[in-house]
Amino acid sequence: MNQDIILDVKDLNAWFGNFHAVKSISKSYKKNTINAIIGPSGCGKSTYLRCLNRIHEEVPGAKVSGEAIIDGQNIFDPKADPVEVRRKIGMVFQKPNPFPAMSIYENVVIGLKLQGIKKKSFLLEQAENCLRKAALWDEVKDKLNKDGMSLSGGQQQRLCIARTLAVNPPVVLMDEPTSALDPIASAKIEDLMSELKKEYTVIVVTHNMQQAARISDYTSFFVLGELIEHNLSSEIFTRPKMKQTEDYITGRFG
């Protein structure tokens, strides 16, 4: 496989019972890039990310077929451990979801503790490191033992990003990470994503075209479960090849 490719999705399909929600998606993701996914509501964007984080299968009646290769392994292989997969492909959700009744510090290090890491100095160092990467350290360094839920919405989302980064996943999925936030908090997360791509590969669903154009290197356009067009974002937003893409990005449909 091309050295630049971190994640290679091949013929990915997902169903809810008989409903075919994600249809034969093939797409490879390059290291250190931000990849936006856009498309009308209900076109399968969240389902696609949830497949890559091995959580779609938790819905009763749900099914997946196809492959997603990372480190030479198919994440859907029956032998692949979903917990291991999530250490390689982390996910940040639309609504900030810090663990309740847990301090800021505990929220960040929980993944490491679950891996059996106990050394306090290491955990503290990692907490600081991840909170810095999530651009939250300066705001919380004096109150690490406060409840994670006591933070503002924008801070909670950055806490969730820090929690995701703690286990150092090479790929980070984000499902509309700024849609529940005000413009200032959203701008902070956008800046942060550009920083993150130095170390990670980000796949981000957004309904905000300006955001996708600003922050992403590549954009995929989904309609009714299908990948209609994908290209450099600079191309998609200035010279889309398909009429459906053009109609969507100019606000005529969706």
Q: Rule CB under 6 A: is residue 220 a binding residue for ligand ADP? A: no
Min. distance of Cβ 94 from Mg ion in angstroms? 7
- Contact status, residue 21 vs residue 15, Cβ threshold 8 Å: yes
Q: Is 252 helix (H, G, I), strand (E, B) or coil?
A: coil
The window from 46-54, 114-122, 163-171, 228-236 that contacts Mg ion (CB under 5 A) reads 46-54
Place of tokens 């954009």: 219
In 3D, which of 131, 124, 186 has the Cα closest to residue 161?
131
Query: Among residues 61, 56, 60, 106, which one has the least CA distance to residue 82?
Result: 56
With b meaning 16 or more CB within 10 Å and e meaning fewer, what string describes 65-104? ebbbbbeeebbbeeebeeeebbbbbbbbbeebbbeeeebb
Stretch 20-59: interaction string toward ligand ADP, x if CB under 6 A: -x-----------------x-xxxxxxx-----------x
How many positions of this chain bind Mg ion (CB under 5 A)? 1
Contacted entry of ligand ADP, Mg ion, none for residue 122, CB cut-off 5 to 8 Å set by kind: none
Q: Which is nearer to Mg ion, 55 or 124 (CB)?
A: 55
Q: Which is nearer to ligand ADP, 21 or 193 (CB)?
A: 21
In angstroms, give the least distance from the CB of 245 to ligand ADP: 15
Dihedral, CA of residue 183, residue 185, residue 191 and residue 195, to nearest 10: -160
Shortest Cβ 177–ligand ADP spacing (Å): 13
Residue 137's binding partner among ligand ADP, Mg ion, none (Cβ under 5 to 8 angstroms by kind) is none
Q: Which parts of 55-114 interact with ligand ADP (CB under 6 A)?
A: 59
**Nearest distance from C-beta of residue 93 to ligand ADP, angstroms:** 12
Q: Is 46 in the site for Mg ion (CB under 5 A)?
A: yes
Residue 153 lies near ligand ADP (rule: CB under 6 A): no
* 19 in contact with ligand ADP (CB under 6 A): yes
230 Cβ contact list (under 8 Å, min separation 6) = 27, 218, 219, 220, 221, 236
Q: Among 117, 164, 110, which Cα is nearest to 136's?
A: 164
Closer residue to Mg ion in complex, CB, 16/137: 16
> Pick from Mg ion, ligand ADP, none: which does 21 bind, CB < 5 to 8 A by kind?
ligand ADP
Q: Is 18 in the site for ligand ADP (CB under 6 A)?
A: no
Backbone angles phi, psi at 178, to 5 degrees: -110, 5
Q: Residue 120: which residues within 8 A CB-CB, separation 6 or more?
A: none
β-bridge mates for residue 69, sequence order:
8, 74
Where does this chain bind ligand ADP (CB under 6 A)? 16, 19, 21, 39, 41-47, 59
Where does this chain bind Mg ion (CB under 5 A)? 46
